[in-house]
Chains A and B, each alone.
Chain A
């Protein structure tokens, strides 16, 4: 119950009334409680990049492999705020490739949700569908999806469709398996309670199973985005002339370490943002699970 002070009453005496709920006055302590972790993180990262800068400038490592932090940030900033000059070696700036990758990722994850969520719910809800589909789901889920990339290139060439397919396949299984697990693990006593209080099958599904499964689905989508991210970068590294994966390969080929590190940093930022956003969604739709997850 570490969160108790933010959520009002918790461990409490039994003869309770509304008087027990009080507003917390804002003080230095409460501000620290709220923003302290942030402050520490910012300080921590600042120190990290300063040490990086000093180390890179000392000349201990060849700048072809290891750029200065400031150089990396500058490249990232310029790449995100300006478009490419027409005679540039690499066509397009970071922003163009970023948007391309995000588009592929979004379409792929969207398709993965479209297949994975209903698929998982059906597998959890119906024994026969489960028995028929589970060998394929487990088989494909356990196959490293990278191994399929050459196959899809063969089928579709170096196209957006190929990349989207890879993202969809990568993202689909965590989503499907999570939804499936959510339905299967729905607490029996909750279902029993709903039955006792007169719920029919449909009401049990919509009032107990679905709300119980919702946070599982969100967790599945969170994993799916992570896997999809890996998928899209790999697909772009394998072939094509667009996207952040392509940019990594090209920057390596042209010994542009600042650009490469900038793209890597960007990938970290994107991934963390996605995780943060899905966590927030999770906390919003399922606050009761927060104490378990955080």
Chain B
């Protein structure tokens, strides 16, 4: 890639300039889990209020165990609010729906299904009003998009981690959801592959204009991908601060990291998370 060339037309304009149309609205959201085999309830997130707008790429940044996953599970509808509300498109979330799809950290591919069959799975579970031919074409298109043509009949265990996550991404994208949820999708993937996949994801969603909620514990990943970064504190998770990322896109041209704004932002975020990271490092997890 030509490092000297500055991106002339950013694919996305900066978040301030875009008309704001709320898609995901959490108000005083408190959620948690029932502890297994104990009569106890564990609060994972407390009093979260955030509005995520259409077409926005929001990164949730925080140490592991801070409740980030719980937040996107609440968006997806796998967990329901204890207190407060979670609304998607103006309607309270009552369960999963085809307007939302998720990419999982451990890929969560069915090991007994081929690559093609895994991508087909969401179409089997829910009726999206597509004909069989349309579904086939869809799957074909997304297989191509994630560069897995020729591996349709392979099983996940035959693929590398990066390739498996491409299947996971294709599965999430193929239903063309309005909202893409990603739970540390690249955390288990080696650094080189990760950068390539981050760049591809950025390019893809900037074309489709999908709203993305992306969980990460990497500050760099959050800055490179996010329009906004919500820094979350741990136990129970609360939003510490939401920061705008006003860096030009695409951000993979290498020189973004050398911009003074980048290091400024990085330092600010580090200040916010370092206490959390410390308490995590001292075995509180």
- The answer to the question of B201 belonging to the interface, with a C-beta cut-off of 8 Å to chain A, is no
- The answer to the question of B122 belonging to the interface, with a C-beta cut-off of 8 Å to chain A, is yes
Residues of B90-129 contacting chain A, CB below 8 A: 96-98, 100-102, 104, 106, 108-112, 121-122, 124-126
- The answer to the question of A18 belonging to the interface, with a C-beta cut-off of 8 Å to chain B, is yes
B125 pairs with A203, CB closer than 8 A: yes
User: Which of A137-145, A190-198, A262-270 is the contact stretch?
Assistant: A190-198
- The answer to the question of B252 belonging to the interface, with a C-beta cut-off of 8 Å to chain A, is no
Chain A neighbourhood of B110, CB < 8 A: 190, 193, 207-208, 211
B159 pairs with A9, CB closer than 8 A: yes
Question: Complex Cα distance A15/B160, Å?
Answer: 11
| A53-77 interface bits toward B, Cβ cutoff 8 Å, 1 = contact, 0 = none | 0000000000000000000000000
Known contacts A9-B154, A18-B149, A198-B126; is A193 also within 8 Å of B160 by CB? Answer: no
B125 pairs with A211, CB closer than 8 A: no
Total interface residues in chain B, CB < 8 Å: 43
Question: Complex Cα distance A289/B106, Å?
Answer: 17
A196 pairs with B158, CB closer than 8 A: no
- The answer to the question of B145 belonging to the interface, with a C-beta cut-off of 8 Å to chain A, is no
Measured between C-beta atoms, what is the minimum distance from A244 to chain B in Å?
38
| B169-207 interface bits toward A, Cβ cutoff 8 Å, 1 = contact, 0 = none | 001000100000100000000001100110000000000
A9 pairs with B149, CB closer than 8 A: no
Measured between C-beta atoms, what is the minimum distance from A31 to chain B in Å?
23
Known contacts A10-B159, A288-B157; is A192 also within 8 Å of B147 by CB? Answer: no
Known contacts A194-B125, A208-B110, A286-B112; is A189 also within 8 Å of B96 by CB? Answer: no
Measured between C-beta atoms, what is the minimum distance from B94 to chain A in Å?
13
- Most chain B CB within 10 A, of A7, A9, A11, A212, is at A9
Measured between C-beta atoms, what is the minimum distance from A270 to chain B in Å?
30
Chain A neighbourhood of B181, CB < 8 A: 196
Question: Complex Cα distance A287/B110, Å?
Answer: 12
Residues of A172-227 contacting chain B, CB below 8 A: 187, 189-190, 192-200, 203, 207-208, 211-212
Chain B neighbourhood of A207, CB < 8 A: 110, 121, 124-125
B96 pairs with A14, CB closer than 8 A: no
B101 pairs with A197, CB closer than 8 A: yes
A198 pairs with B154, CB closer than 8 A: no
Chain A neighbourhood of B197, CB < 8 A: 14
Closest to A214 in B: B112
Closest to A200 in B: B125
| B148-168 interface bits toward A, Cβ cutoff 8 Å, 1 = contact, 0 = none | 111100111111101100000
- The answer to the question of B76 belonging to the interface, with a C-beta cut-off of 8 Å to chain A, is yes
| A132-152 interface bits toward B, Cβ cutoff 8 Å, 1 = contact, 0 = none | 000000000000000000000
A193 pairs with B163, CB closer than 8 A: no
Measured between C-beta atoms, what is the minimum distance from A162 to chain B in Å?
40
- The answer to the question of B78 belonging to the interface, with a C-beta cut-off of 8 Å to chain A, is yes
B126 pairs with A197, CB closer than 8 A: yes
Measured between C-beta atoms, what is the minimum distance from A19 to chain B in Å?
8
The one of A9, A18, A198, A289 in contact with B122, judged by C-beta atoms closer than 8 angstroms, is A198
Measured between C-beta atoms, what is the minimum distance from A130 to chain B in Å?
13
A12 pairs with B101, CB closer than 8 A: no
Residues of A1-53 contacting chain B, CB below 8 A: 7-12, 14-21
Closest to A8 in B: B158
Chain A neighbourhood of B196, CB < 8 A: 14-15
Chain A neighbourhood of B157, CB < 8 A: 287-288, 291
Measured between C-beta atoms, what is the minimum distance from A168 to chain B in Å?
30
Measured between C-beta atoms, what is the minimum distance from B264 to chain A in Å?
32
Question: Complex Cα distance A291/B171, Å?
Answer: 25
B163 pairs with A14, CB closer than 8 A: yes
B108 pairs with A189, CB closer than 8 A: yes
The one of B76, B77, B108, B111 in contact with A288, judged by C-beta atoms closer than 8 angstroms, is B111
Chain B neighbourhood of A285, CB < 8 A: 112
Known contacts A10-B159, A211-B110, A286-B112; is A196 also within 8 Å of B100 by CB? Answer: yes
Question: Complex Cα distance A205/B245, Å?
Answer: 43
A199 pairs with B125, CB closer than 8 A: yes
A14 pairs with B193, CB closer than 8 A: yes
The one of B148, B155, B193 in contact with A287, judged by C-beta atoms closer than 8 angstroms, is B155
| A–B complex contacts, Cβ < 8 Å, 28 sampled | A8-B154, A9-B158, A10-B160, A15-B147, A15-B196, A16-B148, A16-B150, A16-B151, A16-B163, A187-B108, A192-B73, A193-B110, A194-B121, A196-B101, A196-B181, A197-B96, A197-B121, A197-B125, A198-B96, A198-B97, A203-B125, A207-B121, A207-B124, A211-B112, A286-B112, A288-B112, A288-B157, A289-B111
Which 5 A-B residue pairings sit nearest by Cβ, starting from the closest?
A18-B150, A198-B126, A193-B108, A197-B122, A288-B111
- Residues of chain B touching chain A, judged by Cβ–Cβ distance below 8 Å, are 73, 76-78, 96-98, 100-102, 104, 106, 108-112, 121-122, 124-126, 147-151, 154-160, 162-163, 171, 175, 181, 192-193, 196-197
17 new A-B pairs (CB below 8 Å) besides A20-B150, A198-B96? Answer: A9-B159, A12-B163, A14-B162, A14-B193, A189-B106, A192-B73, A192-B78, A195-B78, A196-B76, A196-B77, A196-B96, A197-B126, A197-B175, A198-B125, A288-B111, A288-B112, A288-B156
